[in-house]
């Protein structure tokens, strides 16, 4: 038996053990078993921007508005709304039948508190906050949002599809400061999280919300009817990808969120499985540098990292010759998006370790170890971090390659302290095109200092350009501003784009109704008995 075959057999046994030991559904229940990215150690979608938390939050919490499959904003929890003639007052009436999982009715006060918490956390929400004059609860089901001046992105902001999503929570939870995490999963969504069955490092369980009243419209993207068609969802933590693949082939799980490229042939050979790109927009891989910590508080050192990295090396390490899984891309606002640009991208698109070393010498780099947060339980990021560490060392950096799990990385990246205080210098992550394709939602391009996303880039010029983008009324003007933002972002290295790729999901043909969306959601999914 070949070593590869031995590993496959052992992995299959491990998968069977994990599944058999973790699952004990009630007789007659329809159970959807999924293997999603990473582990879930925290649940508050406003405390972290991590996609695993965001995706699971969509099962528990709902939104006032949502984007359909064509990215048009549609009412979700809102039954009807009106906009005043001067464009400054929005009146929202909640639809009938909305209840929290504890049985209490959703109220205007709950929604106002939830929006106010979101305004303090999200970058787009922060812009919107500057336009807000006040909120007014008209009655238990109707409230008003009054602006200081008209702002055409109001509904788009409330229907924001990705991190941070303006989820609605009960007022008592929404009053939690945004820098502290909500630990009680009380929402009004189609599923209820079974907090008593949550075992970090093993599984998370969600059950059908019997009191949920869906919209009448068919499901479309994140909008429309969110109908729970299975009784129970079990999100299993399976860090070994081959084990997960074997479990899917054996019918022990039903769905895998991200199929590694080198394992795609295993899925393609199975007639009872479906494999499909999850998000037609794809996503971008990014290198994030901590601007607040030496040596990356020096722009020349950050620019040296640009010269040290190669998109080609990253993509080849991840996908080899499978060119359908990636594209080389210099755009900070996403290739294929309305604000795509290659302005000032020469350093990113030109691998030059010698020039990187020269920049480090010019900057006075003293060999300070670069602490890289390196998750090892997700193959994609594990491989990316390995390439990053090798590239940094080749360019003359001393690197402290710190191995951890993905959930630990998500937690540690929030630390603004020194490395001795639990801080960091660099990590690898990924955002979808729906997040990065516009200056309105790209978290890296705010220049907002302490209020910026992790890495905390601080730049007045970028702040002014972004403000001008929001004020612009002409699309040509917005595109011109976005190009200037791209050039400035590349100059100060708000982040380093390392190509775009396309995550591929796989599921059993027993499933139907899987929704095409940038977010992995599981309403509308049915599971056949055979």
Do residues 247 and 18 lie in contact, with contact meaning Cβ atoms separated by under 8 Å?
yes
The predicted structure's pLDDT at residue 450: 94
Do residues 125 and 119 lie in contact, with contact meaning Cβ atoms separated by under 8 Å?
yes
For the 51-174 domain, the top CATH level (class) is alpha beta
Do residues 290 and 423 lie in contact, with contact meaning Cβ atoms separated by under 8 Å?
yes
Return the residue matching tokens 């990705």. 162
d(CA 300, CA 262): 37
The tokens describing 299, both together, are 């722009």
Indicate the domain borders of the chain: 3-38+190-278+504-527, 51-174, 283-501
Rounded to 10 deg, the angle between the 475-492 and 299-308 helix axes is 100
From the number of C-beta atoms within 10 Å of its C-beta (0-12, 13-18, 19+), residue 77 rates as buried
From the number of C-beta atoms within 10 Å of its C-beta (0-12, 13-18, 19+), residue 421 rates as exposed
Arch. (CATH architecture) of 283-501? Roll (3.10)
d(CA 297, CA 302): 8
Task: Look up residue 95 and give its DSSP letter.
Answer: P
Nearest to 376 by CA among 284, 239, 263, 257: 239
Cα→Cα distances 268→273, 322, 528, Å: 8, 14, 21
Element holding 489 (H helix, E strand): helix 475-492
The predicted structure's pLDDT at residue 409: 95
Q: Helices (H) and strands (E) in the chain — how many of each?
A: 17, 23
| Identical fold, 51-174 and 283-501 | no
Q: Is the pTM of this model over 0.85?
A: no
Q: For every one of its 530 residues, what pLDDT tens digit does the chain have, with 9 covering 90 and above? A: 333 433 343 333 434 334 444 445 656 789 999 999 889 989 999 999 888 999 999 999 999 999 998 889 999 999 999 999 999 999 999 999 999 999 999 999 999 999 999 999 998 999 999 999 999 999 999 999 999 999 988 999 999 999 899 999 999 999 999 989 999 999 999 999 999 999 999 999 999 999 999 999 999 999 999 999 999 999 999 999 999 999 999 999 999 999 988 899 999 999 999 999 877 678 888 999 999 999 999 999 999 999 999 999 999 888 888 888 889 999 999 998 889 999 999 999 999 999 999 999 999 999 999 999 999 988 888 999 999 999 999 999 999 999 999 889 999 999 999 999 999 999 999 898 889 999 999 999 999 999 899 999 999 999 999 999 998 878 899 999 999 999 999 999 999 999 898 889 999 999 999 998 889 999 999 999 87
Arch. (CATH architecture) of 3-38+190-278+504-527? 3-Layer(aba) Sandwich (3.40)
- Angle at the Cα of 154 (from 438 to 64), degrees rounded to 5? 105
Nearest to 277 by CA among 38, 29, 26, 520: 520
- Residue 12's φ and ψ, nearest 5 degrees, are -60, -40
Report CA dihedral (416, 418, 419, 425) to the nearest 10 degrees: 60
Cα→Cα distances 409→217, 375, 406, 497, Å: 39, 7, 5, 19
The tokens describing 483, both together, are 């190009």
Do residues 256 and 237 lie in contact, with contact meaning Cβ atoms separated by under 8 Å?
no
The tokens describing 72, both together, are 């048009």
Is the torsion defined by CA of 100, 102, 108, 113 positive or negative?
negative
d(CA 452, CA 457): 6
Element holding 81 (H helix, E strand): strand 78-83
């Amino acid at each position: 038996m070949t070593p590869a075959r031995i590993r496959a057999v052992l992995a299959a046994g491990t998968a069977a053990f994990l599944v058999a030991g973790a699952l004990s559904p009630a007789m007659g229940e329809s159970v959807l078993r999924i293997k999603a990215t990473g582990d879930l150690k925290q649940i508050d979608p406003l405390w972290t921007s991590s996609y695993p938390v965001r995706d699971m939050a969509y099962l528990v919490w709902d939104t006032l508005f949502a984007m359909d499959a064509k990215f048009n904003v549609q009412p979700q929890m809102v039954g009807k709304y009106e906009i005043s003639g001067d464009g400054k007052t929005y009146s929202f009436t909640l639809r009938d039948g909305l209840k929290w999982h504890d049985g209490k009715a959703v109220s205007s006060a709950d929604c106002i508190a939830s929006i106010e918490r979101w305004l303090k956390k999200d970058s787009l929400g922060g812009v919107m906050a500057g336009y807000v004059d006040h909120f007014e609860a008209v009655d238990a089901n109707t409230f008003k949002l009054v602006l200081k001046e008209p702002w055409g992105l109001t509904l788009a902001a409330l229907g924001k599809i990705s991190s941070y999503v303006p989820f609605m929570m009960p007022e008592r939870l929404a009053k939690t400061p945004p820098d502290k995490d909500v630990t009680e999963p009380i929402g009004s969504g189609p599923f209820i999280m079974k907090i008593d069955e949550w075992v970090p490092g093993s599984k998370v369980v969600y059950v059908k919300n019997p009191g949920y009243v869906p919209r009448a419209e068919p499901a479309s993207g994140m909008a429309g009817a969110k109908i729970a068609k299975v009784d129970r969802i079990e999100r299993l933590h399976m860090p070994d990808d081959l084990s997960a693949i074997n479990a899917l082939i054996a019918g022990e799980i039903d769905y895998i969120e991200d199929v590694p490229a080198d394992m795609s042939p295993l899925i393609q050979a199975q007639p009872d499985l479906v494999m499909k790109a999850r998000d037609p927009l794809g996503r971008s891989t990014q290198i994030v540098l901590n601007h607040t910590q030496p040596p990356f508080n020096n722009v020349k050192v950050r620019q040296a990292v640009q010269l040290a990295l190669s998109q080609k090396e990253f993509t080849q390490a991840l996908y080899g010759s499978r060119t359908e899984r990636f594209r080389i891309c210099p755009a900070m606002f996403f290739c294929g998006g309305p604000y795509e640009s290659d302005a000032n991208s020469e350093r990113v698109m030109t691998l030059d370790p010698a020039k990187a070393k020269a920049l480090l010498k010019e900057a006075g780099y003293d060999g300070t170890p670069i602490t890289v947060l390196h998750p090892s339980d997700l193959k994609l990021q594990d491989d990316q971090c390995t390439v990053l560490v090798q590239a940094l060392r080749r360019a003359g950096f001393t690197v402290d390659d710190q191995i951890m799990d993905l959930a630990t990385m998500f937690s540690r990246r929030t630390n603004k302290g020194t490395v001795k205080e639990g801080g960091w210098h660099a990590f690898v992550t990924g955002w979808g095109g729906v997040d990065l394709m516009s200056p309105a939602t790209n978290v890296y391009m705010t220049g907002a200092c302490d209020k910026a996303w992790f890495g905390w880039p601080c730049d007045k010029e970028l702040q002014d350009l972004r403000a001008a983008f929001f004020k612009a009324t002409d699309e040509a003007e917005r595109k011109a501003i976005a190009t200037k933002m791209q050039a400035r972002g590349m100059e100060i290295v708000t982040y380093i784009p390392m190509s775009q790729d396309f995550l591929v999901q796989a599921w059993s043909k027993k499933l139907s109704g899987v929704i095409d969306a940038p977010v992995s959601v599981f309403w509308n999914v049915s599971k056949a008995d055979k």
